[in-house]
Amino acid sequence: MGYLTAIKGILVKAKGIDAKLYDLVAIGEDGFGEVIAIVGDTYFIQVFTDVTGLSVGQRVEGLGMPLSLELGPHLTGHFFDGLGVSLEEEPFYHPTIRAETSYTFDFQPTVKKGQKVGKGAIIGTVSVKEGKQELSIPIIAPPTVGGVVEELYPGNHAIRGEPIAVISGTNVELSHHWPVRQPRPFKSRVWISQPLITGQRVVDTFVPIAKGGTLAIPGGFGCGKTVFQHTFAKYSDADKKVFVGCGERGNEMADFIESMRKRGKLHEVVVIANTSNMPLIAREGSIYSGVTVAEYLRDIGYSVLMMADSLSRWAEAIREVGGVMGILPAEEGYPPYLQERMQEFYSRAGCVKTFSDKKACLTISTSVSPPSGDFSEPVTQYASSLVDTTIFLSTELAYSKMYPAVDLELSFSKHRAQFANFWESTLKGTSKSIDDLLTLIHKGFDVEKMERIVGADALSDEQKVILHIFRFIRFNYLIQNAFDPKDVYTTPLKMAYIVSSIHSYYTYLTNMLKKGGKPKFQKDVEDRISKMRYADEASCKKLYDEVKGMLGYV
Amino acid sequence: MYEFRRLVKHKSVERVHDPVIVVRGLDANFGDIIRVEMGKEMRTGKVIAIEEDLYFVEIFEGTAGLNTSAIVSSTYEPITLPVSELMLGRVFNGIGEPKDDKSKLYSNKGWDVNGLILNPYFRDVPHEMIETGITSLDLLNTLVKGQKLATFASPGLDVLSLQMQILKQSITNSKGRFAVVFAGIGLSKDEEHFILSTIEEAQVADMSVLFLNSAKDPAMEALLTPRMALTAAEYLAHHIGLDVLVIMGDMLNYSNVLRNMASQKGELTVREGYPSYLFTDLASLYERCGTRRGKPGSITQLPFLTMPNDDITHPVPDTTGYISEGQIILTRTVAHAGVHPPIDILNSLSRMMHFAVSDKQAKLSNRVYHVYAEGKKFQDIAAMMGMDVLDEEAKLFVSLKEEIDELLLSQGANENRTLKQSMRIASQIVEKAPSI
């Protein structure tokens, strides 16, 4: 048996243990940690539990496996810590490793005895209740098990310890273990082709997120990063959402879970909470736990959105370990391998063909908390260079209460051009409208800066039109009230109506200029467009037709 | 524990640094409190690292005056605070020793000062206001039971009198079981005197617990002060079931002590010399707030800190902003405009407010904000180009903004306004404004 030789806060050293790199170890009476380096006969261990009270000479024992999660039908609708242990039992948190065996489900096979099934294939379903809803969750074999179904045991089973089937001599249970740092396998990669519809106008039209893509949301404090992520969790069209509260506020998590419960949508989420007062090292693990749960849900065929709030707190945990290990820091104290770790994490997103031949996408959304709101810091820089879509939030806009405070000058999506077809099929002509309005918005930023220097009177008529429409878009399209039930979500069709209406109005004004006239702003047109975001789809269409009519497009 | 323990006194101090000594072959656990005897003098320290048989002990009082002949022994316990209901009405120093003339507090319950971790699943969403009797807070930036709301102040403002006003008025206004725990960090003698006399005068001592760390106390004690206060608060809230408001400050003093200790220990520092774990350390304090679903008792935190050079992007206010659920800003500019307390409402925000206030209050508060922001905008224009450029409506907004400053946002250090009174004053002003 091994023993402790040194204790340095989050890091301890031990000798005489039998363990491999990244194996879990038990320390003292109820502590545990993870081997992060081995030098000669000394094992360096990062500790997930409290180190107060440990002393040298205490026992350390390898547990023979890396940090792993129990993946099964018990996950959705529930709340776990960063290491996958249920948080629904004790009001005061004490980190531990525990097998979750208390959940039971009624298993109904969808395969037959004697049938041949592939590795990781769907073999049946269980049903769960939320309120009055009855939901069916597929059950898959582990990705390592496939072959002939020799036995089937339908009926009620605990998730662990009771076989539901025997496949080629191997017992299969409702859940299986998977090491969190190891990406789960799938049949093949599939092209990303669909946007993730969030109902947030500025996002879906101007900086779209792809199903299977990656997103970073950097923003200083008070910019609304968390509200934004919560809105994605509540309204986006992914089937399941895995929310990882990494080093963030407990009260916000309580609010999130409460609002999902009220909406009867708890079954759509898995919450992994590692709030800022929970162990620092578990914060590092929580991100991997979250993405592993998300991969598992993808593997049973769901479209999944995994959200991490905030990736900066995860990076800080990595920095702390690097600091204690004496790793020569690169930028701002972060170890040189941070970017590589981030890349490995983001690369777990994507669209795949599962072992059951279903197309399923895993989208990763991360918030980033730059110190002093300074976007030049390493985590923001690495993240924005690695992801498909970066949505920068502006402190200035947030202070003027213009939410969501998306800074369109900096924000960018690699997928925007790709989704032209989506908008064309929603409403003909929308894709060009979006392109033109985005160009106008960028011109608008420049004209606004110029106006501050030379004054409004010195602007040309063309610039006045640009500035007018730019501001009209900002106040009637880009801002969106997350607390107004009518405004909080906009369907793509409504977005298309509004964008097309604004575009027609802009074209109308520029045509007027081309003919040598002075621009005449149309208050009745503007009134109608400004009502569209609060209207239902039918009334929105009516307003759209009226606007088109008034501008002579009938 | 596998070893047999004896109370051995060790003489093998090998190295004396500042503020750490290195002892060989001590019998102690990580985090234990250590006693150090040097002649007649007794000091206290804590085991901060163990490497084979070398024990690194951080000395709270500093190591000046120590040498290798010091005698060292362990108490075999981490830092705890003896807790009981008798804490109410008492005054302690930063490490929980009595500062009043009453006896030491005895209790068989010593609580770990690093606190309890309230499981987020069992948290209730904060939804009940604390009436501080101060309009800028109650009406416009409501303090909600279970939240943490940081206050950032320009250097040199009289923050202490605002803290005391909140302390006494929130106790007076409370209808239920309510107490205030105050943690003063780096106080001067005068400030301590002011605190004690205010509390006595207002007759609120029974429902308050004070932890007063003075500027001349050993540096390490400043780091323990908020932990002691929060531990007392946790006992009163989660064990006794009181609603507890914790007022702490100055958290800049706290952070600067943390910085000094980190640099002496040669730890990794990032922005402006603050240690890389500044966020984690501050969050470990500020997250100790909240209410439990279906249980009485709550902890609300109102930490105060100075914004060096009025700079909100300085690492300490910036880090605090990332943890706090909103912020209250106090500035010299507002103080110069004659508003007391000098709360800059346009830059202040309580993020939990919407859970706790009536629709009527929310609407009125928004209306005040709107009128005030318009007034401020036109006031700024007039400051550059003169009042003459403003039209009648703009002039009206300016005068209403001035009325808000004078009648609504200003109040005496002893003026305890009910929410009703605040709402009445506010309605009277904003109903004169043109409708939106």
**ipTM of the shown complex:** 0.90
Three-class SS state of A130: strand
Q: Which of residues 55-74 of A touch B (CB under 8 A)?
A: 55-59
Instruction: Give me the pLDDT at residue A101, please.
Output: 67
Same domain, B280 and B313: yes
d(CA B427, CA B423): 6
Q: For residue A91, list chain B residues with Cβ-Cβ distance below 8 A.
A: 118-119, 122, 292, 295
Looking at B292, B327, B357, the residue that finishes a domain is: B357
Does A260 reach chain B within 8 Å, measured CB to CB? no
Domain contains B103: yes
Q: What value does the mean pLDDT take over residues B35-63?
A: 91
Q: What value does the mean pLDDT take over residues A274-288?
A: 90
Same domain, B86 and B68: no
Helix, strand, coil abundance in chain B, percent, nearest 5: 40, 25, 35
Measured between CA atoms, the residue of chain A closest to residue B288 is: A277
Q: What value does the mean pLDDT take over residues B321-339?
A: 95
DSSP A493: H
Strand partners, B54: B24, B51
Nearest to A533 by CA among A505, A501, A495: A495
Same domain, B197 and B275: yes
Q: Which of residues 106-135 of B touch A (CB under 8 A)?
A: 112, 114-126
Does A261 reach chain B within 8 Å, measured CB to CB? no
The domain made up of A188-415 has a fold known as: Rossmann fold (3.40.50)
pLDDT in tens, B269-302: 888 999 999 999 999 999 999 999 999 999 999 9
Nearest to A292 by CA among A141, A174, A180: A180
pLDDT at A530 over 70: yes
Does B392 reach chain A within 8 Å, measured CB to CB? no
Per-residue confidence band for B2, with pLDDT thresholds at 50, 70 and 90: very low
User: Which member of B2, B279, B325 has the closest CB to residue A316?
Assistant: B279
Does B8 reach chain A within 8 Å, measured CB to CB? no
Instruction: Give me the pLDDT at residue B436, please.
Output: 61
User: Which member of B49, B268, B287 has the closest CB to residue A323?
Assistant: B268
CB contact under 8 A, B52 and A247: no
CATH number of the domain encompassing residue B68: 2.40.10
Domain count for chain B: 3
Same domain, B63 and B97: no
Instruction: Give me the pLDDT at residue A222, please.
Output: 86
* Greater pLDDT, B39 or A179: A179
d(CA B246, CA B123): 18
**In the numeric block, which tokens belong to residue B114?**
């690093």
Q: What value does the mean pLDDT take over residues B226-252?
A: 97
Instruction: Give me the pLDDT at residue B283, please.
Output: 94
Q: In chain A, where does the domain assigned CATH 1.10.1140.10 lie?
A: 425-550
Per-residue confidence band for B141, with pLDDT thresholds at 50, 70 and 90: very high
CATH number of the domain encompassing residue B98: 3.40.50.12240
Q: For residue B124, list chain A residues with Cβ-Cβ distance below 8 A.
A: 254
Domain contains B418: yes
Domain contains B200: yes
Q: In chain A, where does the domain assigned CATH 2.40.30.20 lie?
A: 2-66
Q: What value does the mean pLDDT take over residues A120-140?
A: 91
Domain contains B411: yes
Nearest to A295 by CA among A355, A348, A234: A348
CA–CA min distance B406, chain A (Å): 24
Per-residue confidence band for B105, with pLDDT thresholds at 50, 70 and 90: confident
Same domain, B318 and B304: yes
Domain contains B7: no
Q: Which of residues 350-369 of B touch A (CB under 8 A)?
A: 352, 354-355
Instruction: For A35-51, give one letter per residue: b (16+ CB within 10 A) or e.
Output: bbeeeeeebbbbbbbbb
d(CA A221, CA A239): 30
Does B311 reach chain A within 8 Å, measured CB to CB? no
Range of the domain at B323: 80-357
Main-chain dihedrals φ then ψ at residue A128, nearest 5 degrees: -130, 155
Q: In chain A, where does the domain assigned CATH 2.40.50.100 lie?
A: 101-179
Same domain, B306 and B415: no
User: Which member of A5, A277, A320 has the closest CB to residue B117?
Assistant: A277
Same domain, B228 and B254: yes
Name the amino acid, one letter, at B301. Q
pLDDT at B377 over 60: yes
CA–CA min distance A550, chain B (Å): 27
Q: For residue A53, list chain B residues with Cβ-Cβ distance below 8 A.
A: 29-32, 78
Note the CATH number of domain A425-550. 1.10.1140.10
d(CA A407, CA A273): 29
What sign results for the dihedral spanned by CA atoms A365, A371, A372, A375? negative
Main-chain dihedrals φ then ψ at residue A239, nearest 5 degrees: -70, -40
CB contact under 8 A, A87 and B121: yes
- The predicted model scores a pTM of 0.94
pLDDT at B3 over 70: no
CB contact under 8 A, A332 and B287: no
Q: Name the one residue in this structure whose structure tokens are 């420049």.
A: A446
Q: Which of residues 101-130 of A touch B (CB under 8 A)?
A: none
pLDDT at A99 over 90: no
pLDDT in tens, A397-425: 988 888 999 999 999 999 999 999 999 99
Same domain, B214 and B313: yes
User: Which member of B119, B126, B147 has the closest CB to residue A87?
Assistant: B119
Q: What value does the mean pLDDT take over residues A499-528?
A: 94
Cis peptide before B250 (omega within 30 of 0): yes
**In the numeric block, which tokens belong to residue B425?**
């004053």
Same domain, B178 and B283: yes
* Number of other CB atoms surrounding residue A269 within 10 Å: 23
Instruction: Give me the pLDDT at residue B1, please.
Output: 31
Domain contains B303: yes
Same domain, B49 and B194: no
Same domain, B397 and B366: yes
User: Which member of B52, B78, B271 has the closest CB to residue A52?
Assistant: B78
Does A481 reach chain B within 8 Å, measured CB to CB? no
Q: What value does the mean pLDDT take over residues A465-476?
A: 96
pLDDT in tens, A20-60: 999 999 999 889 999 999 999 999 999 998 888 999 999 99
Q: For residue B313, list chain A residues with Cβ-Cβ distance below 8 A.
A: 372-374
Main-chain dihedrals φ then ψ at residue B257, nearest 5 degrees: -65, -40
Q: Mean pLDDT, chain A, as a whole number?
A: 93
The domain made up of A2-66 has a fold known as: Elongation Factor Tu (Ef-tu); domain 3 (2.40.30)
Measured between CA atoms, the residue of chain A closest to residue B287 is: A277
Q: What value does the mean pLDDT take over residues A11-19?
A: 95
Distance between first and last Cα of chain B: 71
Per-residue confidence band for A244, with pLDDT thresholds at 50, 70 and 90: very high
d(CA B400, CA B432): 8
Does A530 reach chain B within 8 Å, measured CB to CB? no
User: Which member of B30, B276, B326 has the closest CB to residue A7?
Assistant: B30
CB contact under 8 A, B321 and A250: no
Per-residue confidence band for A271, with pLDDT thresholds at 50, 70 and 90: very high
User: Which member of A90, A251, A320 has the closest CB to residue B147?
Assistant: A251
**In the numeric block, which tokens belong to residue B334?**
């507002």
Instruction: Give me the pLDDT at residue B8, please.
Output: 61
Looking at B23, B55, B74, the residue that finishes a domain is: B74
CB contact under 8 A, B120 and A7: no
pLDDT in tens, A428-457: 999 999 999 999 999 999 999 998 888 888
Instruction: Give me the pLDDT at residue A554, please.
Output: 55
Angle at B253 between CA B249 and CA B256, to 5 degrees: 145
Same domain, B292 and B306: yes
CB contact under 8 A, A258 and B122: no
Q: In chain A, where does the domain assigned CATH 3.40.50.300 lie?
A: 188-415
Instruction: Give me the pLDDT at residue B264, please.
Output: 82
Does B239 reach chain A within 8 Å, measured CB to CB? no
CA–CA min distance B117, chain A (Å): 5
Note the CATH number of domain A101-179. 2.40.50.100
Instruction: Give me the pLDDT at residue B285, please.
Output: 96
CB contact under 8 A, A54 and B2: no
Looking at B312, B341, B357, the residue that finishes a domain is: B357
Q: Mean pLDDT, chain B, as a whole number?
A: 92
* Greater pLDDT, B146 or A83: B146
CATH number of the domain encompassing residue B426: 1.10.1140.10
